[in-house]
Structure 1
Amino acid sequence: MFLVTEPYTQDNIDAAEQRLTARMNAAADHTTATDPAPPGRGDPDTARSLRTLCETVLARTTLDSLSSFLASNLPEPRGARVLGCILQLRHCEAARFWWQYAAGAGDAASAYCLYLHHRALGEDAAARWWHTQTSRIQSPQPPPVSAPPAPPCGPRSTSACPPSSPSCWNGRR
């Protein structure tokens, strides 16, 4: 095991970014939108749609936008989505974990990736659930507009009464 004993220099960080860029480019070079669907009873068209979505996510992501994901202890949802897409393009099942992490933090695109992922695998119930979650994340329910009912004027009262009423609290204030 390698133990870091000195702080990372800017050269170390630059070298790490270059390695990540090379890996992302290599992943994009070795995959195409016509790769077959995962084995099983899934939908190959949905698998291609997921692959296209992942390629688009990666094509529109810069390393600068991932700086908070790479440098923080608690990854940002957007970075988790990107990592999920990288893993999906490498046919790695761990993609689902990162999409679940990001979707749980309110990232609708990750929830949609999970919808496509489950649909591509033929897991229709899970796919429907994630599709519903995508809709909920995109348009959260507004808070209720009605005010809560007024509390009764005392703990023994069964109906609300004005504060000056002698019947409240048995005449005590």
Structure 2
Amino acid sequence: MTRTHQEPAPGIDAALHAAQALTRAYDDYDTDRALRRVTALADSRAAGPARPPSPYPTAHEQAAHDLDLAVTLIVDSPQAHVSLARLVDHERIEPEGALVFAALLRLAGYGDQAQFWFEFAAGAGNRTAAFCLYLLHQGRAEHRAAAYWRTQAHTAAAPAEPPAPVRGRQPALLPEGVRRELISRCWEGRRPTLPPRVAAVIHGLPVDCADEDFGEVPRPDHALTRLPEHEPPAD
């Protein structure tokens, strides 16, 4: 089979490097440290040193995997819980919280609805959301849209009033076991998905009337800030 010319999708390292807004949106977030944590978690589950998944055979598959990794790192961020709480509690636009909500929707199996919230965050100036949209469209072979959002990821202006940094230790958005499993699945080249009891919380969120482009779009709710309460019991 002859492959048509395609814009190459980034690998894991390039995806993490390009999503530099992770470090901008979350002052305490260290992307390199996150990658080392992924490696350490993989090592703990393997007999020998773990290796990252082999490159995917197509740019579309690679982009889809890189998006899975990106959303996993977003919900694993120390700032994720606070950002999402701000989205739930404040009436004004909270692009960082919208980014976290979009990542949760993606992990819960929502496609178009996650895109709606990525666009919401990107439209408010969040570069990580724009980069996720690049990966999303690249994974669908929608190259014109992918090129647009890649440009936005590099050129979008920072919000006029970035959120104030949060001091002190913050609660994690998801239970430790859930976050470890998400990262492990990414590192093994599998699709990261939320456990059923956590996904059920997201699937039970209120929805707005059906959007012409995105269907019924879930709205953030206070149930999202209590996700650790829904950790499944240990086996």
Deviation (angstroms), 1:67: 2.4
Deviation (angstroms), 1:91: 2.4
* One of 51, 66, 80 as aligned partner of 2:98: 80
Q: Aligned-pair RMSD on alpha carbons?
A: 2.6
CA contact (8 A) 1:68 1:75 kept: no
* Aligned match of 1:102: 121
**Separation in structure 2 between the aligned mates of residue 56 and residue 77 of structure 1, nearest angstrom:** 17
* Aligned match of 1:112: 131
1:122 alignment partner AA? A
Which protein has greater RCO, CA pairs closer than 8 Å, 6+ apart?
A: 2
The change in CA–CA distance for 1:104 and 1:42 in structure 2 (over 3 A counts) is: same
**Separation in structure 1 between the aligned mates of residue 132 and residue 80 of structure 2, nearest angstrom:** 20
* One of 47, 61, 64 as aligned partner of 2:64: 47
1:109 alignment partner AA? T
1:38-92 CA-partner distances (Å, limit 9, x unpaired): xxx9711110100000000000144233322110123400000011111111221
* Aligned match of 1:58: 75
Q: Spell out the pairing of 1:1-173 with structure 2 (5 A cutoff).
A: 43-60=60-77, 61-92=79-110, 93-137=112-156
**Separation in structure 1 between the aligned mates of residue 122 and residue 60 of structure 2, nearest angstrom:** 23
TM-score by length of 1: 0.53
**Separation in structure 1 between the aligned mates of residue 82 and residue 119 of structure 2, nearest angstrom:** 23
* Aligned match of 2:13: none
Structure 1 residues not aligned, in runs of 5+: 1-32, 140-173
SS at match of 1:63: helix
**Separation in structure 1 between the aligned mates of residue 59 and residue 106 of structure 2, nearest angstrom:** 16
**Separation in structure 1 between the aligned mates of residue 83 and residue 95 of structure 2, nearest angstrom:** 12
**Separation in structure 2 between the aligned mates of residue 89 and residue 49 of structure 1, nearest angstrom:** 13
1:122-158 CA-partner distances (Å, limit 9, x unpaired): 111100010111111168xxxxxxxxxxxxxxxxxxx
**Separation in structure 1 between the aligned mates of residue 108 and residue 152 of structure 2, nearest angstrom:** 26
**Separation in structure 1 between the aligned mates of residue 100 and residue 106 of structure 2, nearest angstrom:** 10
**Separation in structure 2 between the aligned mates of residue 138 and residue 116 of structure 1, nearest angstrom:** 20
TM-score by length of 2: 0.40
Structure 2 residues not aligned, in runs of 5+: 1-51, 159-235
Q: When the two structures are aligned, how many residues end up with a matched partner?
A: 103
**Separation in structure 1 between the aligned mates of residue 157 and residue 124 of structure 2, nearest angstrom:** 12
The change in CA–CA distance for 1:47 and 1:130 in structure 2 (over 3 A counts) is: same
CA contact (8 A) 1:42 1:121 kept: no
SS at match of 1:94: helix
SS at match of 2:156: helix
2:94 alignment partner AA? E
**Separation in structure 1 between the aligned mates of residue 80 and residue 117 of structure 2, nearest angstrom:** 18
